[in-house]
Structure 1
Amino acid sequence: MYHKDGRTLGFKYIVEGTNLFFTQDAHTRLENAGVTLFKDASANKGSVISSSLKVLAALSMTDEEFAGRMQVDEATGKRSAFYANYVSEAKPFTAQARR
């Protein structure tokens, strides 16, 4: 966590996880040490949107369609063109949520 001098923090950013919050005192100390903190709600928006879009896809396809279009092919280790397009179209939504 610290550089070799034992005093300087070895990181510049912290993203708070869901339900794992820092106290206000910890926030103040970290910010005074030059650390940028990203609060849970801000950091989590993109994953909530991504997860919702995946659930929507699962609900609108049969199990076989979902497996073929949204999961990695076990034999080749590749994703389908459908998946690549789906992710590409979802990115603007997650990017907008981060603002």
Structure 2
Amino acid sequence: MSYLESLRVFVRVVELGSITAGGRDLRLSPAVASNRIKDLENRFGVRMLNRTTRKLTTTEIGRSFYDHARRVIDTLDEAEAMVSSFSGKPQGVI
């Protein structure tokens, strides 16, 4: 999975408050979603989420990373929508 997809997993996990819910929302197993989070943490050498059996919270750096990652994903989604609007193919409900 690409770095961008790992970012999407991280953002959804934080937004939904659980690895299981975030993975399910992206049609991934909890194990795959957890591995994407671990990959990000290993990439940067920091812990971004505090995990217990009952609760998942962001660390201080994890919250900051989430804020930036959310903006990156929003910007990318906007760019993709803009490009799609110029494709010349009918889209949406007719």
Task: Please state which band the TM-score falls in when normalised by the shorter chain.
Answer: 0.3 to 0.5
Larger helix share, 1 or 2? 2
Q: TM-score, normalised by structure 2?
A: 0.35
Q: TM-score, normalised by structure 1?
A: 0.34
